Structure 1
Amino acid sequence: MRIERRQTPRSRVYRGASVVFNGGQSVLECTLRNWSDTGALVRMSDWIALPKTFEIDSPGESVRVRQCWRRGDDVGVAFLTQGECQPVAPISLDAIRKRRQLG
């Protein structure tokens, strides 16, 4: 039996969106699979390293999120409150290359 840990129930959705980070320099296509008042499930088209926080842009809205868990191409995110939202410095290309070499 699976224990429900979410604060609010999620509704199933299937709509295209974009993951945006690096000050808008990096934009990746994704699919929203479920959505609630506090978080969502994002399915990436391919495995790619994501920062801890990023934005999800979908038609009509943009939300800042924090990555909570990851299983393959699926990413569970929680919506950040206004107080938690802070500008995120872009990741340098050298830092990305170093992470790939280490990992």
Structure 2
Amino acid sequence: MTLERRQTPRSRVHRGASVVFNGRQSVLDCTLRNWSDTGALVRMSDWIALPRTFEIDIASGDESLRVRQCWRRGDDVGVAFLTPGECQPVAPISLDAMRKRRQFG
């Protein structure tokens, strides 16, 4: 039996979205696989290093959510939604730093 650690129950969804970071210069396709009031499971199309906080743009509307990466297993990323008080501007990530992250995990 698996211990459930989520704060609120999640609903299954299958919605197209984009992961956005680096001053909106980096945009990656993803799929939202489940959703709750406090977070979501994001499935990336390719493995790439992500910053700790980023935005998710929902494809079906003009909604953009600020999130924090909680865990990662392969292409699946668990995220928590940030409240406005938790949102802080994130400095762009240099290309060299992204390459090192990807190379060394």
What residue in structure 1 maps to residue 46 of structure 2? 46
Please give the TM-score of this superposition, normalised by the length of structure 1.
0.93
C-alpha distance after superposition, 1:45-64 (max 9, x if no partner): 01110000000000221100
User: Identity across aligned pairs (percent)?
Assistant: 88
The Cα shift of 1:97 comes to: 3.2
The Cα shift of 1:99 comes to: 3.3
Alignment of 1:72-91 (within 5 A): 72-91=74-93
The Cα shift of 1:100 comes to: 4.2
What residue in structure 1 maps to residue 21 of structure 2? 21
The Cα shift of 1:101 comes to: 5.0
The separation in 2 between residues aligned to 1:42 and 1:102, in whole angstroms, is: 22
C-alpha distance after superposition, 1:13-71 (max 9, x if no partner): 00100000001000000000000000000000011100000000002211000000000
The Cα shift of 1:76 comes to: 0.3
Please give the TM-score of this superposition, normalised by the length of structure 2.
0.92
List gaps (5 residues or longer) in structure 1.
none
The separation in 1 between residues aligned to 2:4 and 2:104, in whole angstroms, is: 35
RMSD over aligned CA atoms reads 1.2
List gaps (5 residues or longer) in structure 2.
none
